[in-house]
Amino acid sequence: MATGILGIGRYVPDKVLTNLDLEKMVDTSDEWIRTRTGIQERRIADEKTNTSDMAYYASKEALENAGVRPEDIDLILVATVTPDMPFPSVACLIQDRLGAKNAAAMDLGAACAGFMYGMICAKQFIDNNAYKNILVVGVEKLSKITNWQDRNTAVLFGDGAGAVVMGQVSDGKGILSFELGANGAGAKDLYQDGRYIFMNGREVFKFAVRQMGESAVNVVEKAGLKKEDIDALIPHQANIRIMEASRERLGLPEEKLIKTVHKYGNTSSSSIPLALYDAVAEGKVKDGDIVVLVGFGGGLTWGAVALRWGK
């Protein structure tokens, strides 16, 4: 047996914030945002909807989609930099609400690469036969740590949640290879400065272009695959220019790059599962397809997975 994804769910808030809305809030333009980032609009959670609410909605759908009962979940891992409060964890809050009474629960922090870290941690427990079903969630309410007066960051971020249930899948399917990494020397380029996100955009951009391409190539090679075997590339949805650079590094045609950045912006740890959800729903990822997931984020951190979709 192998370890893979049994089901997937997501939640995005209804409220849409467009580039035109942002033009009225900061000194920016729809044209600048589109050409520099590829973002057209993003979703923003209302006052009443906290991070754990979004995580709960996405998780509920993932459990239903997987056909797994809440009491059969052994561990909940929630990747987030915007928990409801420092403690208890979002994982504990949703454990109770889901009725996952047999699950251990914790949050993990690897910023935008958090979902990759979560998936790869989950894989270890399942490979070891220690646990059977693990819920992995990427969720962010970035709007609460965004400085809406700072045009360097305000135009980039959005809110949302994606969740998967991981467990055993048949041989040849599931996770074929992975890579994780970190470089704490880059902590100064992307961090929460008091209440708000601070980012040295240029430096993060350079790192992201280099690292995403490299990690994607590494997991493909580790899985014994060729670049031509890839059916879908799902990079962290931070900036279309960074995403296109990793597509080019792999020599993939345009249609194999999965994009949601135009409609959700950068949703940090939830961007990869949100994009995977849409790719599956739209038939861009089908049973047996080879999918490469690759993320990077504050830390600096990065992570990638090559997997064969299906159970």
Peptide bond between residue 300 and the one before it cis (omega within 30 degrees of 0): yes
- Pairing relationship of beta strands 290-297 and 232-235 according to DSSP bridges: parallel
| Nearest distance in Å: CB 28, ligand UT7 | 3
Contact region with ligand UT7 (CB under 6 A), list: 28-36, 93-101, 126-134, 286-294:
28-36
Helix, strand, coil shares of the chain, percent, nearest 5, are 40, 25, 30
| Nearest distance in Å: CB 163, ligand UT7 | 19
The DSSP-derived string for 248-260 is HHHT--GGGB---
199 near ligand UT7 (CB under 6 A): yes
| Nearest distance in Å: CB 177, ligand UT7 | 23
Within 253-272, the residues that bind ligand UT7 by CB under 6 A are 266, 268
Cβ closest to ligand UT7, residue 302 vs residue 309: 302
Query: How far, CA to CA in Å, does 211 sit from each of 105, 192, 240, 272?
Result: 30, 22, 15, 16
112 carries an active-site annotation? yes
155 near ligand UT7 (CB under 6 A): yes
Whole-number Å distance between alpha carbons of 33 and 35: 6
Of the residues 297, 301, 307, 308, which one makes contact with ligand UT7 according to CB under 6 A = 297
Of the residues 32, 191, 196, 198, which one makes contact with ligand UT7 according to CB under 6 A = 32
Tokens 């991070």, located at residue? 51
Of the residues 204, 233, 252, 290, which one makes contact with ligand UT7 according to CB under 6 A = 204
Q: Could you give the string, one character per residue 209-248, with x where binding to ligand UT7 holds by CB under 6 A and - elsewhere? A: -----------------------------xx---------
Give the pair of three-digit tokens for residue 311: 């159970």
Contact region with ligand UT7 (CB under 6 A), list: 9-17, 136-144, 147-155, 279-287:
147-155
Give the pair of three-digit tokens for residue 178: 């992975």
56 near ligand UT7 (CB under 6 A): no
Long-range contacts of 14-23 (CB under 8 A, 24+ apart): 14/43, 15/43, 15/44, 15/45, 15/46, 16/41, 16/42, 16/43, 16/44, 17/41, 17/42, 17/43, 17/44, 17/158, 19/155, 22/154, 22/155
Which spans of this chain sit near ligand UT7 (rule: CB under 6 A)? 28, 32, 36-37, 112, 151-152, 155, 190, 199, 201-202, 204-205, 208, 238-239, 266, 268, 297
Q: Which residues are catalytic?
A: 112, 236, 266
